[in-house]
Structure 1
Amino acid sequence: MTPSDRDATGLLTRPDDFVQLITPNGERHRDAEFDPWVADVDAAALGRLYRDMAIVRRLDTEATALQRQGELALWPPLAGQEAAQIGSARALRDDDFVFSSYREHAVAWCRGVTPADVHIVWRGSAASGWNPYEHGMAVPQIIIGAQALHATGYAMGLAWEGSDAASIAYFGDGATSEGDVNEALVFAASFDAPVVFFCQNNQWAISEPVGLQSKQPLARRADGFGMPGIRVDGNDVLAVLAATRTALDRARRGEGPTFIEAVTYRLGPHTTADDPKRYRTDTELAEWRERDPITRVLALLEGMGVDVAGLEREVAAEADTAAAEMRAAITTITDPEPMSVFDHVYAERNSHLERQRERYARYLAMFDEADGSTAGTGAAASDPDGGAR
């Protein structure tokens, strides 16, 4: 990539261009614009990024197995997108705030959320897995694109308070077709909100290819909203780190939002309920496997003289331990009492909610009567005030 590849707004002018610092075969590609942003990343730091990606991939594999074995109701795999998530998340400060979709398990890992807390929701044992304020990360948003509005509103609040912290919204290529994302871009640009819009273009919005949704690279949409757009190789953890640091620096200096398109690929299904073989080819999958985000980092480290075999053994052992601990935690979770579903709907009880409680209690009591049980799963068994109202 050369300066001539960019137009006056700083956008890449050819759709196959993106910022890349590590090639798929592990060679270090020099870039005068983005190299300074990762000048501090030596072999040790690069090894830590590899560790993050390798452990998260192992946890993701274990989660898929748990779902197939009936321990999780559903699971949205992230395999292939490790560099996009780890590279961007490791650019954040503790006081920045993350608003994610349902696939950013690697981001949660970087924010200190335990794997068990990530998975408890997918088991159906809790409505949310962690306290957002303890980790600077909201619980995952299931409604496609809604988190972009949340991130923008939060960023506007940061600016009004005079903070130099920022927020970041993660979403997929499919979400760029949603009204919420476009409305968020309008508000962020209008109010110079310190927010980074991080789009993981994994090529498929469930079964629809990105080319059906956009005739131009998604990063070019930023130009229409009056903000910079950066198109980065999403399988290059170093390039993603550099691009995100650039965007965050701009936000901290009061210069407003940035849109990042991380070009990556979802190696697995959209969720474990999906069959990707119905809409994509084995050839396409094989081509993207050659651009794997983890193997290219290992190749670069080997070229830097690192004992890669030793590093792989060490990290693999750590990843296996993390996966075993996660499995043990998930498979021993106690199911919540049925009536607890009402506990945190409102701060105070009200007649509308009480009517629902009463109906649900009667419904549960039907099963107690059918099996002759007196212990019950009805309201009296779990209501601290002694029964349904």
Structure 2
Amino acid sequence: MNQLEGGDRTAVSPWNWSGLEGGRVRARPPRVADCTLRDGEQQPGIVFTVDQKVEIARAVAALGVHDLELGTPAVSPDDAEAIRRVVDAGLGVYTSALGRATEADVDLVRSCGVDAVRLSLPISERQRAAKMRLPAGEYVERALRIAGYAKERGLDVIFSPYDTTRCDRTLLEALLDAFRREGCVDRVRLVDTTGAASPQAVAALVGLMDDAGGGIPIEVHCHNDFGLGTANTVAGALAGAAYLSTTINGIGERSGNASLEEVVTAMAVLYGIDVGIDLARLTAVSAIVETASGVRLQPHKAVVGRNAFAHESGLVVAGLLRDPFTAEAYAPELVGQRRRIVVGKTSGRASLEAKVRELVGGDPPDDLDLDALLTGVKAAAIDAGRSLEDDELRALMTTRSKG
């Protein structure tokens, strides 16, 4: 059964498919290629231990992720050891690791036992000039040589011409045409390295790359510098991308990467495209990565944040009590969450009564003065500068009796 079947669980805009009638949405849904253990750890301040990497890999694999990008073995012996440990765990998932476009890095990746090497070679003129001093005329030759070297050693090749969204179109098309002719690459990554592209740009590039490569699968890897990581990834999927690169909680360099939980929920709920992820596990896996990374989620983080399904406003809660979809687009249980009513400055009598019912497990006590309690709640919330915790509300309830 599709995860969204079985009762009213969603209520989204009927306009979501507008303008997409001529798109390239794939007959087979795209797969998720998660890079929490590689790009996620590149966020300043994050250092995963080997054991934490194994735990995260196990949890993410259990979600239904197709491809785990396990790290960059050249970074440190610990990284290489973690990759080997995950591979040895036998999680039943496709595995890959990142390497620079050198024979030595390919050999190191191969020694870790993964299925594929992700060959990283900057393609934009800016990146090549600053990092490689690699002329455009030599780029395709080097890419083919290293890809061929990796294939000869039994590795699948996922080529990552990073800074794709700021590169020269002629060079990108020449690269993909060469890959098509030589048959030495299994997948090509569209990398929005600095998050500098719009959703329209990503969609257009997916189409261009698909045409130039003759159907070589395209993976989109989007950074979140403008807060568009999820939007760009979804746009790529709707344009025909075969793989979606994400991280749990959107962790990653600078402003992070496309958030797995946001991307897969948007695909499932907004477009009805099941990418094979167990949505009900999302919140639990998010918590594992939050603890291991030490990066605390903002309370209003979409999908998995503590307040993603929390409601305080009196007007909002009044409607919510009659029909939850007046305030929510999908049921919180779908992603392993639960709905919460909180009380504070903007609460109304109906929402306060509902919260009291929740706390006492039935009708409010006959001697409880709800109007006086509401006045007290608002005053206490103003003094505290926040909503009230359940224990604080219970304490106020004991002082607001009739009579």
Compute the TM-score of the two structures, normalised by the length of structure 1.
Answer: 0.34
RCO greater where, 1 or 2, for CA within 8 Å and sep 6 or more? 1
Compute the TM-score of the two structures, normalised by the length of structure 2.
Answer: 0.33
The structure having more radius of gyration, on CA atoms, is 2
